[in-house]
Structure formats: structure tokens, C-alpha cells
Amino acid sequence: MNRRQFCAAAGAGVLLAGCKNLAKPQSEPVRVFIIHGYGATVADHWFPWLARQLQQQSITALPVALPDSMQPDYRRWQDALSQAVGMPSGRTILVAHSLGTISLLHYLSRVRPHKIGGLVLVSAFGKRIPTLPEINGFNIDAYIDRCRIDFAAIARMAGNRIELISADDDTIVPVENTRYVAKELNGYLHIRATGGHFVDRDGFTQFPPVLESVERIVQMLQE
């Protein structure tokens, strides 16, 4: 072996060794944000149960506390989402319920992440609810009117990783409202015969279908 061949072989060996020592890039962990709705806290309904179930699977679950939920303020809720969620990534899954859904959809339309991991929306709505203009003195119509949703942009962010859940007997957010959101987002809608508004007074301190939706999205992100 002459000097030139030796040097070439040595150089190749160094490069090969260097490649072997390179650590494989670690993928960003999946994070699941849980966003409550009107009159609720992170400790209500099925939210704590969902967080525990995800944590038992080593999935980071992050309940988002929104201020003064009996009299929600549009700007304060958007600020709270900004502080808690920040800029979502392709490994961010967002679970929201009721008023939390339209608040989240507006937030995503405003900050416009390139990609998100997925959405699970429960009792969702994206425009005025004719049967519920206000509740307990809170002007829902005025809140909704401040929300601007770019459904097409959100659908692109999440791809085919959007699931929605509604009940035929939901008297607060009738199923037609969630069906509208599902159509606009091209999401998969699960309609249950019963369940009401999926809150604790309806018997929902646990909600396996939401967990199953999150698990499906996590699996898709891992493929």
C-alpha cells in the first residue's frame, strides 16, 4: 500500500468511526394538552383521569388552566393558551372540550403552526349556537363573534389526525354544531347515542373514547 492509498484508507476509517459514534437524533416527545371549557377547571369532569391515563403510558399530559371560567374573557383565555401551549409542533396533540374547542381553533388560526400532532375535540362548535346565545349571564354569542377560525389551515396542520366526539342528546352543544366542525376540518366524527355534554353531572369522570382517540393519534405519529 503506497502513502496515498494509506491516507485514503485512514481517512475513510476515521469517517466511518465518526459515523458510528454519532448518536441517533432523539425525536421530540409527544405532548398532550387538555383544554377545559366554560365553568370548568383542570380538576373537573374527565380531565384528571385522562391526564393520569396518559402519564401511566409515559406520555406527557399538560392540563391548561383558563382563568375565570364562569365569565370567560376572550383575550385572557387566548393569553393563557399562548403561555401554556406556545407554538405547537408536529408532536403536539390538543384535546379540548366545549368552549375550549372554539377557543383552541381560534388560537391555532392565529398562531399558525406549520404542523400539529393532532386534535381531539369533544362537544365542539365553531360558530354561534342558536339555542344557546348566553348562559348564566355570560354572552356566548359575543365571545364566539371574536373568534376567527381558518378551518382549511387547521386541517392542513393536523392532516388526517383529527377526531371529534359528540352525543345525540347533548342539549348544550347539539350534535349539528360538532358535525359542522368535523365537516370543515375533514375530521372523523364519533357520535354517541347518549352522553349529554360529557361532564361529571352526566356521569363522565372517566372517558375512554377520548383516551382511545389520543392513543390512535400517538400511534400514527410513531409510524
Q: Which of 45, 170, 190, 213 is catalytic?
A: 170
Q: Which of these, 179, 171, 188, lies nearest to 126 by C-alpha position? A: 179
- Whether the CB-CB separation of 78 and 110 falls below 8 Å is answered with yes
Q: Which of 106, 123, 197, 213 is catalytic?
A: 197
Residue 197 designated active-site: yes
Other CB atoms closer than 10 Å to residue 19's CB: what's the count? 8
Residue 170 designated active-site: yes
One-character DSSP codes across 3-48: HHHHHHHHHHHHHHHHHHHSPPPPPPPPEEEEE--TT--TTSTTHH
C-alpha cell at 213: 382517540
Q: Which of 69, 98, 166, 213 is catalytic?
A: 98
Residue 97 designated active-site: no
The two beta strands, 60-64 and 31-35, are: parallel
What positions carry a catalytic annotation? 98, 170, 197
